[in-house]
Each structure stands twice: as C-alpha cells, then as structure tokens.
Amino acid sequence: MKRLLASVLTALLVVTMTLAAVFLLTKASLVVAKMTNPLMRAVAVIAELVLGVVLLLGTVYLAVRLAVRIFGGGPPPQPD
C-alpha cells in the first residue's frame, strides 16, 4: 500500500513539475520575443536554453531517483 501511494504521489509530482517547467519556459519565451535589443535578446535566448535544460533534466533526474527508491530492490549483489 505504501509503495502504491508513493508511486502515485511521485507521478503527480513529476507531472506537476514538468507542467510548471513548460509554463515557465513559455513565459520566458514570450518575454524574450518582445525584446528589441539584439544583444540582450541573444543573451536571453541562451539563458532560456540553459534554464530549460536545467529544469527539464532536473525533473527527469528527480523522477528516476524517486522511482529507483520506490521500486528498487536491495543493494546489488557483490561480485565474486
């Protein structure tokens, strides 16, 4: 029962984090698109790409980490 509850909560957390990242990146894209200074716009596009990579990779890392902690067995067997 604990494992089922943990997996449902993990799925909800991952979906929420992914949607939040997408909404944040969409908002950032709209702000960058309205910039008039080409140099600042170029810097903002690079910052937006870095932010997107960090947010989405962080979400994937957290999802995998929680899935391993929930469904992972014990420690791996020791090699002989």
pLDDT tens profile 6-40: 889 999 999 999 999 999 999 999 999 999 999 99
**Residue 19, domain member (yes or no):** no
List, as one string, the DSSP characters of 13-80: HHHHHHHHHHHHHHHHHHHHHT---HHHHHHHHHHHHHHHHHHHHHHHHHHHHHHHHHH--SSPPPP-
Of all helices (H) and strands (E), which one includes residue 1? none
Whole-angstrom distance, CA of residue 60 vs CA of residue 34: 30
**Residue 17, domain member (yes or no):** no
**Residue 58, domain member (yes or no):** yes
Count of the separate structural domains present in the chain = 1
**Residue 31, domain member (yes or no):** no
Cβ(22)–Cβ(55) below 8 Å = no
Q: pTM of the prediction?
A: 0.76
**Residue 56, domain member (yes or no):** yes
Domain of residue 42 covers 36-70
* pLDDT > 70 in the chain, percent: 100
